[in-house]
Structure 1
Amino acid sequence: MAEVFVSSEKREQLKVLMASVNVREEDLTERFILGAGSGGQKINKTSSCVYLRHAPSGIEIKCQSSRSRDLNRYYARKLLCERLDEQLRGAQSKRQQEAERIRRQKRRRSRRQQAKVLDDKHKHAECKQRRGAVKQTDHE
């Protein structure tokens, strides 16, 4: 991958990530295909879309998130590692944990919790009401 678009730190992190899920470069089949969609003439003319296939697992990744081929190569490998991690670890994978966290946030509160929150808001509003306006005094 080119050093211009992907920093050496990111490349090292990717190597560690690939090693943690047992992905070797020899197992990958990589092709560059014409992109499609928004982005204008540049996207449609250049082969910056990356198609990546991991032979042992059969996972196929197609990445066109950037106009740069090198950046797309990086993103495709990272996505492949995330998918393999999800397969291997299941519910403990980072992606699954993030999805569960969002689900918990969106979950509706029980009536008791709603009442508690509302009561707390009323108490806070009362407290603010009692403060009153700031009085101006002349000190001369």
Structure 2
Amino acid sequence: MIPTIEELLKEITFKTSRSGGKGGQNVNKVSSKVELIFNVQETLLFNEDEKALLLERLKTKIDTEGNLHIVSQVDRSQLVNKEISIIKFLDLLEKSLTVKKKRKPTKIPKAVIAKRLANKSVIAAKKQNRAKPTID
């Protein structure tokens, strides 16, 4: 179960820095790059099973201290980049906390097996008719 946005925002920290890319002099003056940092190991919003699932599925995005880092520098505005990083974070949590259903193997219906065998016999007869006749 994913907590509400308000609960998550209480445990999220944001770090800003100067962004690269387009913007001219604005790039040199304004810190528009936003980095969202969320500590998975110390959060109180998830139980131990959910924390283990997050740590396993997001291990490439989590550093040694257990912090999840999400960076956004798409827009020139710091506020827009902050909103984009929050949306990325919520989407990442939702995808990594969903548990896939286990596939139940089913038996092949008898009609399908009979149809396959009938088709095999038709093809075998067709190939038999192509053979050169034997002289006895």
Bucket of the pairwise TM-score, normalised by the shorter protein = 0.3 to 0.5
Q: TM-score, normalised by structure 1?
A: 0.46
Hey, which of these two has a bigger chunk of helix by percent? 1
Q: TM-score, normalised by structure 2?
A: 0.47
